[in-house]
Structure formats: structure tokens, C-alpha cells
């Protein structure tokens, strides 16, 4: 209901008074208005469009509830690769509205009560219009809770531990029900979403459920074949057989040593790319032996 400031107090405006003003305002902002056909229909149409134009105006029931649903909250959580791959109990700090511990959402000071509104007899309505005395709530807060100013909620920084399951990915969101913002009037809390931000790793890179790394192998080991040890992302020591005659950039696949499937059995693979190291600065003796090797193979110029 619109109110007009006039000397002596607010004046309630009838629909007949408001309608031409709303119509004029809508015309000024080029909102498509229905043509006049029959008064009743036009008013109904204009009212419907007006409501849509002004945005969501939910149907309200009186008396109004002071408690409104709270908003969801989102928190970005940076995790190292081993934490996203193998899971972690991650400590987080969240700053949200929480239920006021003093009044626990009752809004009034301990020992007092909400006062019934005599003007509207607790209905929130006077002659079909919102009660001005209690603003439609059907009661008034005579003595608001001093801790929350009668809002039923306060801001609080909390420490939580979030159970991050193995196999989560960058950009995934974990929902913690009812850990978001408590609503106005101590309304039900929204949800808290933890958004995973995976940090790059020095040694391993990730491609969905597969992991990739490089392994340096001396040229003689690549030629003759050998067994080398490799430390995996979870610091296990793996023995890997390098086949004789392995070419530079050969990829070896270690099945099941990748990222565990999220909330499922199995895991991706680990791909090891061989980096064959050619020695520089050979001694004269070593150069002679390599030349001899080349002569033997018949490839030297
Ligand atoms: Zn309070
Ligand atoms: Zn009232």
C-alpha cells in the first residue's frame, strides 16, 4: 500500500487514486499498457502487468512472519593436488549471520514477550490494509533483544571442518545444508557451498581422473633398459621397469595409480613421460668410447 506524506500523518490511498499514477509512470518508462476496453478488465490487466513489472511480489498472508529464509553462502577453498585427489578434512573459517544466542530468534529481550497488536487484533490487517501499528506482523517488539537489535541473528566468524572426499575436482561445489546465512528475524539458514579451487602441483598434473608426470632417465638406461623408482603423489615408492630401447617422450601407463573415482570404486591411471637425458661435457675417454660405438654401428660420418 502506498502512503502519502501529508501533514497530520500518513494517508491511505485507494486503488482508484494509485492506478492513474502507476499508469502514468509505466507510460513514462515505455511499459506496454493495455488499451482501454472495459474498466474492470483493464484494471485487472494493468494490475497483473504492474506486478510483473515491479518484480516478484509474492502473495503474502497476514499476519506477516518476522522470520524470513536466509541466503545461501559460498566459500572458495584452495586445496593442494594431494588433497583433492586423496581427500582431506579441511578447516575453513566462515563469516555468516547465525541465530542470536541470547534470544535464539525470539527477537525480544529475555524475560519480555512480543506484544500483541491491539490495533489489528493480531491479524496484521485493518479493513483489508496492512496494519500501520505493527507493519502487518500482528505484534510489536516492545523490548528488542539487545544482542541482535531484535533481528534474531548476529554475524559470527565460525571455524568448521569440511570433509572433502577423495576425487573432487576444481570448480566442484560441496553443499553444507543449513550452514549459510540465517535469515532476517532468525529465519531458517540457507546452505553453505564450498567451491573447490585446485592448486597446481610442481611434479604432477591432472587430466580428469588421470595424473601425468615426467621421469628423467639416463640415455644408457633408455638404451639398455633398467628399473627405476618413482615417488607417487601420495609418496609411495614405485619400481618401474624401463624397457630397453625406450625412445624420448615415451609414455608409460600405470593403471590405477591416478585419481580415485569420486564416491566410487576404482581410479584413473598415472602416465609417466620419459625424459631421456643426453649427457654433455663427456671426457676425452668417454668421447672415444662413443665414437667407437658409432663406428661399430656404422653411423658415424
Ligand atoms: Zn537476539
Ligand atoms: Zn497491528
Same domain, 33 and 129: no
99 Cα to the center of ligand 1, angstroms? 8
Q: Tell me, yes or no, whether 82 lies in a domain.
A: yes
What b/e string do you get for 134-161 counting C-beta neighbours within 10 Å, with b at 16 or more? bebbbbbbeebbeebebbbbbeeeeeee
Same domain, 215 and 250: yes
Q: Tell me, yes or no, whether 170 lies in a domain.
A: yes
Same domain, 187 and 209: no
pLDDT in tens, 142-184: 999 999 999 999 999 999 999 999 999 999 999 999 999 999 9
Calculate ∠ Cα 197-200-202, nearest 5°. 155
101 Cα to the center of ligand 1, angstroms? 7
Helices H / strands E in the chain, number of each: 5, 17
144 Cα to the center of ligand 1, angstroms? 8
89 Cα to the center of ligand 2, angstroms? 50
156's enclosing H/E stretch is strand 153-164
**Residue 2 pLDDT > 60, yes or no?**
no
Share of the chain above pLDDT 90, in %: 78
Q: Tell me, yes or no, whether 3 lies in a domain.
A: no
Average pLDDT, the chain: 86
Q: What is the pLDDT of residue 298?
A: 81
Of 143, 166, 198, the residue at which a domain comes to its end is: 198
Q: What is the pLDDT of residue 55?
A: 45
Neighbours of 30 (CB within 10 A): 7
**Residue 261 pLDDT > 80, yes or no?**
yes
Q: Which ligand is nearest to the CA of 122?
A: 2
Of 173, 198, 223, the residue at which a domain comes to its end is: 198
Same domain, 211 and 123: no
pLDDT (mean) for 203-227: 97
Locate the DSSP E strands across 165-298: 173-176, 192-198, 205-207, 210-218, 226-231, 237-242, 251-254, 270-277
Residue 72, classed as helix, strand or coil, is: coil
Q: What is the pLDDT of residue 33?
A: 47
Q: Residue 47's domain spans which residues?
A: 12-53
Same domain, 285 and 192: no
pLDDT in tens, 101-117: 999 999 999 999 999 99
Q: What is the DSSP string of 157-189?
A: EEEEEEEE-TT--TT-EEEETT-SPPBGGGBPP
65 Cα to the center of ligand 2, angstroms? 13
Same domain, 153 and 89: yes
Q: Tell me, yes or no, whether 60 lies in a domain.
A: no
pLDDT (mean) for 187-201: 97
If one counts the domains in the chain, the total is 3
Same domain, 89 and 181: yes
Q: Which ligand is nearest to the CA of 107?
A: 1
Same domain, 140 and 49: no
pLDDT in tens, 3-36: 444 444 444 445 555 555 555 655 565 555 444 3
Sign of the dihedral defined by the CA atoms of residues 232, 235, 239, 244, in that order: positive
The Cα–Cα gap between 284 and 281 comes to: 9
Under 8 Å between Cβ of 112 and 233: no
Q: What is the pLDDT of residue 48?
A: 37
Q: Tell me, yes or no, whether 66 lies in a domain.
A: no
Same domain, 265 and 286: yes
Same domain, 90 and 180: yes
Band of the pLDDT at 133, cuts 50, 70, 90?
Answer: very high
Under 8 Å between Cβ of 291 and 300: yes
**By mean pLDDT, which of 39-43, 105-109, 137-141, 275-279 is the weakest?**
39-43
Q: What is the DSSP string of 86-155?
A: H-EEEEEEEEEEEE-TTTTT--BPTT--PEEPTTTTTSSEETTEE-TTTTTSSEE-SSB-TTTTTSSEEE
Q: Tell me, yes or no, whether 154 lies in a domain.
A: yes
128 Cα to the center of ligand 2, angstroms? 12
pLDDT (mean) for 45-68: 62
Pairing state between β 173-176 and 192-198: antiparallel
The Cα–Cα gap between 215 and 223 comes to: 15
Q: Which ligand is nearest to the CA of 118?
A: 2
Same domain, 213 and 191: no
Same domain, 134 and 96: yes
Question: Can you give the CATH number for the domain in which 281 is found?
Answer: 2.60.260.20
Q: Tell me, yes or no, whether 64 lies in a domain.
A: no
Q: Tell me, yes or no, whether 269 lies in a domain.
A: yes
Of 198, 231, 246, the residue at which a domain comes to its end is: 198
Does the predicted interface ipTM exceed a cut of 0.90?
A: yes
121 Cα to the center of ligand 2, angstroms? 6
Amino acid at each position: 500500500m502506498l502512503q502519502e506524506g501529508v501533514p497530520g500523518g500518513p494517508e491511505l490511498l485507494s486503488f482508484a487514486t494509485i492506478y492513474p499514477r502507476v499508469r502514468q509512470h509505466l507510460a513514462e518508462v515505455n511499459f506496454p499498457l493495455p488499451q482501454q476496453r472495459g474498466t474492470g478488465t483493464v484494471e485487472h490487466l494493468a494490475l497483473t502487468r504492474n506486478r510483473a513489472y515491479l518484480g516478484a511480489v509474492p502473495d503474502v498472508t497476514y499476519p506477516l512472519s518476522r522470520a524470513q529464509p536466509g541466503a545461501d553462502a559460498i566459500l572458495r577453498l584452495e586445496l593442494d593436488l594431494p588433497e583433492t585427489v586423496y581427500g582431506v578434512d579441511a578447516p575453513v573459517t566462515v563469516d555468516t549471520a547465525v541465530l542470536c544466542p541470547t534470544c535464539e530468534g525470539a527477537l525480544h529481550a529475555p524475560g519480555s514477550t512480543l506484544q500483541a497488536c491491539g490495533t489489528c487484533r493480531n491479524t496484521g490487517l485493518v479493513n483489508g490494509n496492512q496494519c500501520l501499528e505493527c507493519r502487518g506482523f500482528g505484534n510489536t517488539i516492545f523490548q528488542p533483544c539487545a544482542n541482535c537489535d531484535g533481528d534474531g541473528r548476529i554475524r559470527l566468524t565460525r571455524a568448521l571442518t569440511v570433509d572433502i572426499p577423495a576425487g573432487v575436482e576444481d570448480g566442484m561445489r560441496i553443499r553444507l545444508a543449513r550452514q549459510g546465512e540465517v535469515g532476517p528475524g532468525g529465519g531458517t539458514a540457507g546452505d553453505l557451498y564450498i567451491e573447490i579451487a585446485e592448486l597446481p602441483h610442481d611434479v604432477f598434473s591432472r587430466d580428469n581422473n588421470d595424473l601425468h608426470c615426467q621421469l628423467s632417465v639416463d640415455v644408457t638406461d633408455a638404451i639398455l633398459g633398467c628399473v627405476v623408482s618413482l615417488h607417487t603423489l601420495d609418496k609411495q615408492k614405485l619400481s618401474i621397469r624401463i624397457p630397453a630401447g625406450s625412445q624420448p617422450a615415451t609414455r608409460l601407463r600405470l593403471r590405477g595409480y591416478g585419481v580415485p573415482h569420486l564416491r566410487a570404486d576404482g581410479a584413473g591411471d598415472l602416465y609417466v613421460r620419459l625424459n631421456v637425458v643426453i649427457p654433455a661435457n663427456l671426457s676425452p675417454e668417454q668421447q672415444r668410447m662413443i665414437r667407437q660405438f658409432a663406428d661399430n654401428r656404422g653411423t658415424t660420418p
